[in-house]
Amino acid sequence: MKKQAFNPYLPGYEYIPDGEPHVFDGRVYVYGSHDRFQAGMFCLNDYVCWSAPVDDLGNWRYEGVIYHKNQDPKNKLGLHILFAPDVARGADGRYYLYYAFDFMGVMGVAVCDTPAGEYRFLGHVKYRDGVIWGRKSGDSFPFDPGVLVDDDGRVYLYSGFYKPVPGIVTGGKQLKFEGGYVLELESDMVTIKTPAKLLFPKKGPGAFPGHEFFEASSIRKYEGKYYFVYSSKCNHELCYAVSDRPDGGFTYGGVLVSNCDVGVNGITDESHAANYAGNNHGGMLCLNGQYYIFYHRHTCRTSYSRQTCAEPLRRNADGSFQQAEMTSCGLNGAPLRGKGRYEARIACNLWCDKGTGRYDVKHSKKRYAHHPYFTQSEKDGSTTAVQYIANMGSGAVAGFKYFAMEDVKSIHLEVKGTASGNMLAARDKEFTDILAEIPVQLLAGQRKVCSGNVRVKNGVFPLYFKYVGEGTIDFIAFTLETEENG
């Protein structure tokens, strides 16, 4: 039996945001930046890669570190951090990694003979005269690369950022921040062939009202169409635009996913959304006709410890995509089995009695001190760390979607904390259809298993858990017990 796939689909100790999925030789490779658990800034770790067989998306393999930040000669001391990358296979069969160092305004390129080997520094994207892109006043700001090697071998590089960055950071040059750009590269994958062209203006004619370009350029070509995925000025959502050509003619398609589910199930307000909002970045993947959107969620009550997730996309009759709902079973291809043990970290919904909010605000940990959050038991890099939901006070809810429930007779909770109350399990977020009431009595940080019988209801539905009582609990895992596995 294949492993089930969950969200996040990588181990709980891994913090990879900005996930760009690509298929090379029968495997899906995910390239992203690399956050650090409990960090105070984005992307502090070196690039790593994970991969999975195209027909087994619950079986991910760690490929190791593929690029160190100090390999770039402009960063020998490793003081600059590697923001979101992208990878493309060139016409020569080699693999090219594109990246930008924080807000430096320079785009680097590394190359490797295999998708997930040790990439070697190749150069910086530059003009024919040798001047590095981003070092001429009036250049567009190099940021968040998206790379496409088209069927005819032509190479397109997409980039852009919404907010102006001070010239003191970009080597004293005044760069353009008008939206999303595209430029064409020579076959050497480094030299600019045609100058940057504004494709996605952040305002004025050609902008997408309410969903204007912010950052996170990502490009794919499927079935003769070019799909450009980006993060809008709303920040928590990934949108897309589509065209018949790579360098223009894009029309707005809609929202693909929001990491707080604003836009689905009647949710319109970030402060009372289905999860905590923050920036978003990811890419589209098509496997055997099924489309997916990769994105990331936030943990630790900050924007700096993000984890990659993915959801299937539904297409309308006209070929457009519906907005995906956040789930716990994104790449699984089906609901999760309604039996066995599940870690609480796969919750796709999380809020407290006061709702949710945005993590990308000042003093977010203090602001959300009352709220539940995802954390882990050990320091960054520990492969034995256990991720869980901490700080569930009275009224806090964790939601899991979806399960194929059949003859579940009891639920066993693994919890710790200091608390006296009940955990309610329900099929709906309003808790009008309660399946179980599980007593929770914990003394002075005690860890234990608490159990309760289930009012049997079969079918495919979500599970919501709400704690009601005194104190707070840390929610580690739950087990669905049936006659078969009991």
* Range(s) within the chain of domains with CATH label 2.60.120.260: 337-482
Exposure string over 347-356, b if 16+ CB within 10 A, otherwise e: bbbbbbeeeb
Of 62, 13, 42, which Cα lies nearest the Cα of 377?
13
Q: CB within 8 A of 162, min separation 6: which ones?
A: 177, 179, 202, 212, 213, 214, 215, 233
The mean per-residue pLDDT over the stretch 194-203 comes to 96
The mean per-residue pLDDT over the stretch 436-454 comes to 96
Alpha-helical regions (H) of 392-447:
none
Of 485, 468, 471, 475, which Cα lies nearest the Cα of 431?
468
| H or E stretch at 365 | helix 364-367
Q: Looking at the predicted structure, is the pLDDT value of residue 426 above 80?
A: yes
Q: What is the chain's Cα-based Rg?
A: 23
User: Catalytic residue numbers?
Assistant: 18, 215
pLDDT tens profile 391-408: 999 999 999 999 999 999
CB 307 within 8 A of CB 297: yes
The mean per-residue pLDDT over the stretch 152-158 comes to 98
Q: What's the chain's average pLDDT?
A: 96
Give the lowest-confidence range in 53-67, 86-100, 443-457. 443-457
Type of residue at 424:
L
CB 131 within 8 A of CB 107: no
CA dist 149 and 109 (Å) reads: 15
CATH class of 337-482: mainly beta
| H or E stretch at 367 | helix 364-367
CB 39 within 8 A of CB 61: no
* Range(s) within the chain of domains with CATH label 2.115.10.20: 19-334
Of 453, 472, 328, which Cα lies nearest the Cα of 391?
472
Q: Looking at the predicted structure, is the pLDDT value of residue 125 above 60?
A: yes
Q: How confident is the model at residue 33 (pLDDT cuts 50, 70, 90)?
A: very high
CA dist 284 and 76 (Å) reads: 33
CB 152 within 8 A of CB 66: no
Predicted pLDDT at 174: 87
CA dist 435 and 457 (Å) reads: 8
The mean per-residue pLDDT over the stretch 120-147 comes to 96
Multiple choice CATH, 19-334, 2.60.120.200, 3.40.190.10, 2.115.10.20, 3.40.50.300: 2.115.10.20
Q: Looking at the predicted structure, is the pLDDT value of residue 483 above 80?
A: no
The mean per-residue pLDDT over the stretch 350-367 comes to 96
pLDDT tens profile 219-244: 999 999 999 999 999 999 999 999 99
Q: How confident is the model at residue 484 (pLDDT cuts 50, 70, 90)?
A: low
419's tokens: 């608390």
Pairing of strands 107-112, 120-124: antiparallel
Q: Looking at the predicted structure, is the pLDDT value of residue 168 above 70?
A: no
Pairing of strands 397-405, 336-337: parallel
Q: Looking at the predicted structure, is the pLDDT value of residue 200 above 70?
A: yes
Residue 373: cis peptide before it, omega within 30 degrees of 0? no
Q: How confident is the model at residue 485 (pLDDT cuts 50, 70, 90)?
A: low
Q: Looking at the predicted structure, is the pLDDT value of residue 486 above 90?
A: no
CA dist 462 and 400 (Å) reads: 6
Of 11, 4, 3, 7, which Cα lies nearest the Cα of 294?
7
